[in-house]
Chain A
Amino acid sequence: MTPYADVHFEIIGRVVVARLEGEIDMSNAGEVGAAITGRVTSDAVAVVLDLGAVEYLDSAGIHVVFELRERLSRRGQELRLVVPSGSPVATALHYAAVPRTVGAAETVKAAIADVED
C-alpha cells in the first residue's frame, strides 16, 4: 500500500480484522488510517486491529489508532487492538499508555471473543 506498510483485511462474522504490517510513521499514518476506515461497513460491529506484525509505530501512528477508535465509537462500533507481548511495537504503545486506555488483546481470536462478550 505504501512503500513501508501494508494492511490486509479479513471479515470474520460481523468483525473486520485489519492486520497491519511494516512501519508506520508520519509518512504513511494518514493513508493507513484512511485504508482501514474505507473498509469498515456499517453492518460491522467492531474492528480488530492487529499490530503484531508492525515493526515500528510512532506517535503519528498511535494518533491514527485513537482517531479510528473515536470515529468508530460515533457509529456505535468498537475498536479492539491486538498487541502480542514482546511484539516490536508493544513498548512504544506502552509509552503512549495505549493498552491502558484502549485495551489490547494477545491474539485476534481473543479480541473477537472480547467483542462477542
Chain B
Amino acid sequence: MATPDPQSLVTTPGRGQVVLGIGDQLTVDGSAGQLEHVYRLADPALSELALEPLLNELLTRAKDILRVDTAAILLLDDDAQELVARAAKGLEEEVERGVRIPVGSGFAGRIAAGRRPIYIADVDHADVLNPILRMKGVRSLLGVPLLVEGAILGVLHVGTVTPREFTNSDAALLQLAAAQAAPAIDRARLFDALDREHRNAVALQRSLLPERLPDLVGIDAAVRYLPARDEVGGDWYDVIDLPGGLVGLAIGDVAGHGLRAAALMGQLRTGLRAYALEGHPPGETLKRLDRMLQTISGRGMATAAYAVVDPVTGTLHYASAGHPPPVLVRGGGREASLLDVSSAPPLGTLPFAAYREVEATLQAGDTILLYTDGLIERRREPLTNGLERLRALAAVPATADQLCQLVTERLVPAEGGEDDIAVVALRIAPIEAAMRVRLAADPQVLSQMRRMLGRWLQAQGARPSEVADITLACGEACANAIEHAYGPGAAYFELETVHEEGLVTVTVRDTGRWRSPRGGHRGRGLKMIAAAVDELDLHTTDAGTEVVIRHRLGPR
C-alpha cells in the first residue's frame, strides 16, 4: 500500500471532503502488488458476467484489494436526480436498497455532481447524508463516479471503520472497478427499458384479445394465443355469439410487429366483431372491415378469415382475405382436409376488394380449425409443406381443446416461434343417446338451449310436433331454474337428456327451491309443461330442485 501523497490532495466541496485527482491523472504505482490488483479489477472475464454477479464480484474484489470494510454502488435515478443504493458488500450489505441521496448533497451526491473522486478522512467532521454509514461506524470513505461517455450513472464507494488515508493510487484502483461496472450497468438499463417496452406491448396485445370465450351450447370451442419469442405480433382471434344461435369465428394477422401492429389488431378485431354482430355474412363482414381499414390513417395490411357456423344445421359460411385455409376434421378424426377457399387479397391492399364466400357442412363431431401462418411457416420451406404437416396432424379424434393443444405443442417450439400464433378450433358437439350440459343461469342461454335440444331430439327421431312440445316443456323448466339463481357470481344449472327405446327423459337440476305457483306466469309455465308432455315430476330438496320431464316418442 502506497503512502498518502499530501501534495495531490486538494480540498474542495463539502466540509471535511477532499477531491482527488484535480489537475493530474490518477495513476497506480508500478509495484508487482499493484499490477496484480489492476489485473484483478480489469479482468476481462468479468465482462462476461451478468449485471448482478458482476457487481457482486467487483465489490468483493474492490473490498479485498483496498482492504476496506464496506463497498457499495449507488445508481442515479435520472428523473428524481437522486442516487439509490443498488449493491453492497460488507457493512452495508443488508441495506442495499432504499437509501436515496440527492445529487449534489453529501458524500455520494457530490461525487455524482462533480464527477470526481472524493476522499473523506473522518466521517464525523464531514457532510455525510447516508445514515447507515454513520450508524455502522464508518470513519473514512473513498468514492468514485460511474461514468459512461461522460454521463454519470452512479457512484462506487468504499469505507473503513478505522481512520484511513486513501491515496490517489487507491482512487485509481477504485476507478478501474468503476470502469468495469459502468458499461455493464448501462447495457442492463438499456435492456431493462427494452424489456419493459416488450412486456408492456405483450400486455397490450393480450388485453386486446378476448378474455374468455362465450358460453356456447352445442358447441365445443377452444383457442390458443402464443406470443412470438422476441417481438409483439398482431395476431387475433374471436369467437362471437351471434343472433339467432349462430356462432362467428374470426382470425387475423396484422402485417408487422410491435405496438403499432398490436394496436391495429385491436381496431380490426373490434371492427370485425361489430360488423359480425350486425348480422353480416362473412364476405360482407370482411368487405366492410377492408373499407374500415382503408380509412384508418397510416393504415396497415392484414390477413383475416371469418366463418359463421350454425350449430344446429352444421352449415358453415367462410370467407378469407388472404388468410391460409382452415382445416376441417371429419369422421371422428379419421380425415382432415383443407377447406378450398377462393383467393382474395389481404385487407387494406386493394381498393374495392370483394371476398367470396364458400359453404361447407359440418356433421356433429366435426371440427373447423383456424390458425395464423406462424403455425405452419418454417424458414427455407415451401408453405405447402407446413399446410400438409398441419393437415396430417389434425386427423385425430379430439375435442377442440385437445386439437389446439396438439397442433401448438407439435408445431411450435417450446421457447415460442419467430412469429406470434393464434389458433381457434370449433367442434360441433357430437350427438349421443344421452347428453348432459351445464348452463349459465342466464336467460340468454335459453335460445341456444332450444337449438341444441331440437338438434338432439331430431337425431333421436322425434317428429316436429314432439320437438316443439318437449322443447316448450324443457324451456319452462330451464326458465324456472334461471329464476332460482340469486345472488352474486356465476350460477349454473344442469340439463340432462336421455333416450331409451322411444322414451325421452329430460331432467333440469338447479340448486334453488321451486317457487310455488302464485297465479302468475310461473304457475302457467307448470301447467304448460303438464299439457305439453306425458309426465312431469318435481323434486324439491334442501340441495335444490329437479324437474323431470318424460315423453314417449311416436304416434299415440
Contacts and interface: CB of A to CB of B under 8 A. Distances in A.
Interface in A74-100: 88, 91-92, 95-96
A3 B244 contact: yes
B450 A23 contact: yes
Given A26-B446, A58-B472, A60-B479, A95 B520 contact: no
Contacts of A88: 468
Contact of A63 (B244, B472, B524, B527): B524
A27 B528 contact: no
Interface string B531-543: 1100000000000
A3 B243 contact: yes
Contacts of A23: 447, 450
A53 interface: no
- Which size class do A's interface residues fall under? 10 to 19
Contacts of B465: 91
Given A56-B450, A62-B524, A26 B479 contact: yes
A88 B464 CA distance: 10
B120 interface: no
A60 B443 CA distance: 11
A95 B531 contact: yes
Contacts of B444: 27
Main secondary structure of the interface of B (DSSP, over half): helix
Given A59-B521, A91-B469, A96 B528 contact: yes
A26 B244 contact: no
Contact of B522 (A28, A59, A92, A95): A59
Nearest to A4: B447
B273 to A, nearest CB: 14
Contacts of A66: 521
A27 B439 CA distance: 15
A58 B477 CA distance: 11
B348 interface: no
Interface residues of B, number: 26
22 contacts: A3-B243, A4-B447, A23-B450, A25-B443, A25-B479, A26-B446, A26-B482, A27-B446, A56-B475, A58-B528, A59-B479, A59-B521, A59-B522, A59-B528, A60-B479, A63-B520, A91-B472, A91-B532, A92-B472, A92-B528, A96-B527, A96-B528
A27 B443 contact: yes
B420 interface: no
B95 to A, nearest CB: 63
A3 to B, nearest CB: 4
Interface of B: 243-244, 443-444, 446-447, 450, 465, 468-469, 471-472, 475-476, 479, 482-483, 520-522, 524-525, 527-528, 531-532
Contact of A25 (B244, B469, B475, B527): B475
The 9 tightest CB contacts between A and B, nearest first, are: A63-B521, A27-B443, A59-B525, A95-B531, A3-B243, A59-B521, A95-B528, A59-B524, A26-B443
Given A4-B243, A59-B524, A63-B521, A95 B532 contact: yes
A58 B479 contact: yes
A95 B532 CA distance: 7
Interface in A42-63: 56, 58-60, 62-63
Nearest to B479: A26
Nearest to A56: B450
Contacts of B479: 25-26, 58-60
